[in-house]
Amino acid sequence: RPRVLSGIQPTAESFHLGNYLGAIRQWVALQDDHDAFYFVPDLHAITVEHDPKTLAARTRNSVAQLLALGLDPDRCTIFVQSHVSEHTQLEWVLGCITGFGEASRMTQFKDKSARQGSDERVTVGLFTYPILQASDILLYQPERVPVGEDQRQHVELTRDLAQRFNSRFGKALTVPQPYILSGAAKIQDLQDPTAKMSKSASSPSGIVELLDDPKVSAKKIRSAVTDTEREIRFDPEAKPGVSNLLTIYSALTDRKISELEAEYAGKGYGDLKKDLADVVADFVDPLQERVRTYLDDPAELDRVLARGAARAREVAGATLAAVHEKIGFLPPT
Ligand code: TYM
């Protein structure tokens, strides 16, 4: 079975609709016919200032959400990044074949570092973040990496580093493809539909959190920015707000956008927003119930993570050993 790998950061209390529709929904689908590895990158979460008191809880909460969204530990490998020390070990080697200029061109680094205010607050960890991400991926030799559009550049860097390593030292790494679905690969902020929905960038009112009270989400959807026309029509250039609502509606109900356009012909934005709020509520109500069930049983969650880490270490350890051998390190005796 072809292998896939992906990860989601534990940087918020809740995942949002962009995370689910852009990434996790594909992860759930892929676990059936792929050897799938999914993990929570807690090492990445400390590249910006964080609160140690909440990180462990958020990591647990992230795993609970992944399980509640449909990842099945019997069909895929679920683990926490810091439990597998090979990630930082391979990162060192990859860092030594990455150009400083190449790393400086990463747009997420440029955006995130600009938001830190002063240079002194921008950490070296934030700078090397994409190299750690390349290591996360290459350790598992996946054919595909299912992510949203915003991760494309990081996967491109990963491909470059794998090719560079293989051609300099001999083949040890699979060159992965990004797996980015068209349509839901970029869910936009409700308040600023020209920017992506993002836990770090937007104001809370633009983000639909999966663990929010559905009444709160309904309110956010009601106040979503649209436009001054009346027509409900999919046109991301001219009508980014309405198009974003249609994208979310379509993805959550598995109905075609053209079908929705026909259904809402002659109706107002208020109707669309009210119905979308109901669609979201129908999705998150049972989800939140399942998340609570997983969080109420920490021992079971720990068992899932222990099993996942053991399998992950097996695969990651084999790759790291091959890399060390190619690069000329003296094998430990
Ligand atoms: P993160 O935690 O920001 O996001 C997790 C996944 O959600 C997708 N996503 C979106 N998709 C559509 N619309 C949006 N508005 C939206 N916002 C987020 C992201 O594209 C991502 O797939 N650097 C990664 C985590 C990571 C990783 C990895 C991913 C670390 N190592 C190795 C893949 C492979 C990140 O911060 O994703």
Condensed to tens digits (0 to 9), the pLDDT of residues 134-171 reads 999 999 999 999 999 999 999 999 999 999 999 999 99
Q: 186, 196, 220, 273: which is the annotated catalytic residue?
A: 196
- The pLDDT, as a whole number, for residue 120 is 86
- 216-245 burial, b for 16+ CB within 10 Å, e for fewer? ebbebbeebbbeeeeebebebeebbbbbbb
Supply the DSSP string of 254-317, one letter for each residue. Answer: T--HHHHHHHTTT--HHHHHHHHHHHHHHHHHHHHHHHHHHHT-HHHHHHHHHHHHHHHHHHHH
Q: What are the strands, taking DSSP E only, across 81-221?
A: 144-146, 177-179
190: DSSP letter: S
- The pLDDT, as a whole number, for residue 248 is 97
CA–CA distance, 320 with 29 (Å, rounded to integer)? 29
166 in a known ligand binding site:
no
| Pair of tokens at residue 290 | 């399942």
pLDDT digits (tens, 9 = 90+) for 249-287: 999 999 999 999 999 999 999 999 999 999 999 999 999
Helix (H, G, I), strand (E, B) or coil at 6: strand
Q: How many other C-beta atoms can be found within 10 angstroms of the C-beta atom of residue 117?
A: 9
CA–CA distance, 160 with 166 (Å, rounded to integer)? 10
Query: Cα of 62 to ligand 1 centre, how many Å?
Result: 13
Query: Cα of 324 to ligand 1 centre, how many Å?
Result: 29
- The pLDDT, as a whole number, for residue 201 is 65
pLDDT digits (tens, 9 = 90+) for 192-243: 999 999 987 668 999 999 999 999 999 999 999 999 999 999 999 999 999 9
pLDDT digits (tens, 9 = 90+) for 14-29: 999 999 999 999 999 9
187 in a known ligand binding site:
yes
pLDDT digits (tens, 9 = 90+) for 40-66: 999 999 999 999 999 999 999 999 999
Query: Cα of 9 to ligand 1 centre, how many Å?
Result: 7
Atom from ligand 1 closest to the CA of residue 5: 34
- 287-324 burial, b for 16+ CB within 10 Å, e for fewer? bbeebeebbeeeeebeebbeebbebbbebbeebbeebb
Helix (H, G, I), strand (E, B) or coil at 166: helix
Residues 132 and 91 sit within 8 Å (Cβ to Cβ) = yes
Atom from ligand 1 closest to the CA of residue 41: 30
Determine which residue's CA is closest to atom 26 belonging to ligand 1: 7
- The pLDDT, as a whole number, for residue 119 is 85
The mean pLDDT of the chain is 96
196 is catalytic: yes
Determine which residue's CA is closest to atom 27 belonging to ligand 1: 7
pLDDT digits (tens, 9 = 90+) for 74-128: 999 999 999 999 999 999 999 999 999 999 999 999 999 998 888 888 999 999 9
- The pLDDT, as a whole number, for residue 69 is 98
256 in a known ligand binding site:
no
Answer yes or no: is the C-beta of 247 below 6 A from any ligand 1 atom. no
pLDDT digits (tens, 9 = 90+) for 281-307: 999 999 999 999 999 999 999 999 999
- The pLDDT, as a whole number, for residue 202 is 63
112 is catalytic: yes
Residue 231, phi then psi, degrees to nearest 5:
-80, 135
- 11-50 burial, b for 16+ CB within 10 Å, e for fewer? bbebbbbbbbbbbbbbbbebbeebbbbbbbbbbbbbbbee
- The pLDDT, as a whole number, for residue 220 is 97
Q: What is the CA radius of gyration of the chain?
A: 21
Answer yes or no: is the C-beta of 8 below 6 A from any ligand 1 atom. yes
Determine which residue's CA is closest to atom 7 belonging to ligand 1: 19
Answer yes or no: is the C-beta of 197 below 6 A from any ligand 1 atom. yes
- Looking at beta carbons, which pairs linking 68-72 to residues 24 or more positions away fall under 8 Å? 68/287, 68/288, 68/290, 68/291, 68/293, 68/294, 69/15, 69/20, 69/24, 69/25, 69/28, 69/210, 69/287, 70/28, 71/24, 71/27, 71/28, 71/31, 71/38, 72/31
Answer yes or no: is the C-beta of 7 below 6 A from any ligand 1 atom. yes
- The pLDDT, as a whole number, for residue 181 is 86
- Could you tell me which of 217, 214, 193, 194 has the C-alpha nearest to residue 205? 217
- The pLDDT, as a whole number, for residue 333 is 86
